[in-house]
Structures are given as C-alpha cells and as structure tokens.
Amino acid sequence: MNYIKHLNEVFKIFQKDSRLNASHISLYMALFQFWNYANFKNPFFFARAEIMAMAKLGASKTYYRCLKNLHDWQYIQYFPSHNPYKGSRVKMYLFDPTKKQVGNHRETSRPLAVAPILNTIKHNKNINKPTELKEVLEFFSSKGWPVQEAKKYYEYNENKGWNIPVESVINDWQALARQWMLKTISPNTTTVQLPTKTTLKNYEHPL
C-alpha cells in the first residue's frame, strides 16, 4: 500500500465531497494514523477513547455520527464490538489512482452493507495484556528503554487486540515486550544507520 498516493488521492476526494466537515476529516486522519501503527493491516482494532483524543473530538455523539457517515459514504468499513475487553475494528478502503477504486463517493451513495467478520480464533490467541499504559512505561523504563518505544509497543499491540500466532509459546505481554526489544535497535546505540543514497528521498519537492 502506497500511503503517499493514498493520502494524495483521498484529499482530492475530500475537497470535492461537500458532505464532509472538519470533524469527519479529523476522525479519518486519526483512524489513518492508527492504521499506520497497525502496519496497514486491514481491518485493525482501535479504542474509541484513543481515536477521539487523537481526532480532538470531545463529544461521543459527534464521534459516532462522523464514524457512521464515513462508513455510509464508503471511506471506511466499521465493525463495532460488543465486547468491553476488545476494541472495535475498521477497514480502511484503498485510494490509489493506479488501483481499482473501491468506494462510490457520489452525493447519493447508499449505505455500505457490513461484511461478515472473519473468524480468526483458530489462527490467533489473546495473551495477558497490561491493564494500562503505565505498566508498559514502567517495564520499559526498568529495561533502560525510552518512553516513546514503550508507547509504540503498547499502541501497536492494542490495535492488534493483543493477538499473536496460536503456535507461539508467549503467553504474557512482558515476554512479548522482551521479544519486541530483541527485534529493535539497542537502546544504548547512539548512532542510527541511514539509508543508502539510492534510497534517500527528497521530501522538499511536491509529491
């Protein structure tokens, strides 16, 4: 998924869609950021409180209205959750001029039928999750890791619903965190390896 082409295209559509207001766009961009945290997995889990905070939406009524609108107008596909321990899910439609367009963004577009949620129980399992972000921050701090890395780890797994492959021997979030640390650059490393010249991009030029 080319997120630059995606954003360029979706903003063109935003500009032409008179139904949208600032709250719709703010909510969409918050969902996009959490999609980014989930490595563009489709669909992905999210928590209402975190999305509202990122989108700067103070009223639940506004949040649900905009969420329903984005679903009905085929910008996203929303899968509500009735489990208090598991967040809702959303599917982000791809907007890329080089690919087939999924949604139909006419003024009279019909509400989108919700597709059945796939059963992934036989492929994944839930591990014991932290009760709050503070636990993760304290654990990472005790290991000498920065706060930002702890937040990244927490948000990534929160969006996944703390699911891991069923064949994994890991059963708790601390073990998963240690695995995360092993796969990440050492916290004591002071230099970061830069891309080669052939892969560097000049972001000063318009996309």
Q: How many CB atoms lie within 10 A of CB 125?
A: 16
More confident residue, 103 or 111: 103
56 and 28 in contact (C-beta within 8 Å)? no
pLDDT at 121 over 50: no
Cα of 138 vs its chain's centroid, Å: 24
> How much is the pLDDT for 189?
44
Q: What is the mean pLDDT of the segment spanning 169-176? A: 82
- If we measure between CA atoms, which residue out of 206, 19, 36 comes closest to residue 106? 19
Q: Could you give the angle at which helices 133-142 and 147-159 cross, rounded to 10 degrees?
A: 140
Lowest mean per-residue pLDDT among 83-87, 101-105, 146-150, 182-186: 101-105
Cα gap 92→71, rounded to integer Å:
10
pTM attached to this predicted model: 0.51
> How much is the pLDDT for 65?
95
Give the amino acid at 126: N
How many Cα atoms are found within 13 Å in the side-chain-facing hemisphere of 141? 7
What would you measure as the largest C-alpha separation in the chain, in angstroms?
56
Cα gap 150→157, rounded to integer Å:
11
Per-residue pLDDT reduced to its tens digit, 52-99: 999 999 999 999 999 999 999 999 999 988 776 677 899 999 887 665
More confident residue, 131 or 14: 14
pLDDT at 159 over 90: no
Confidence band for 107, pLDDT divided at 50, 70 and 90: very low
More confident residue, 169 or 48: 48
Mean pLDDT of the residues in the chain:
77
> How much is the pLDDT for 167?
62
Specify which of 6-10, 23-27, 117-121 reaches the highest per-range mean pLDDT: 23-27
Give the pairing type, strands 124-126 and 163-165: antiparallel
31 and 50 in contact (C-beta within 8 Å)? no
> How much is the pLDDT for 97?
67
> How much is the pLDDT for 185?
57
97 and 5 in contact (C-beta within 8 Å)? yes
Structural domains of the chain in order of their starting residue, each with its CATH number = 3-92 (1.10.10), 124-183 (no CATH)
Cα gap 27→38, rounded to integer Å:
17
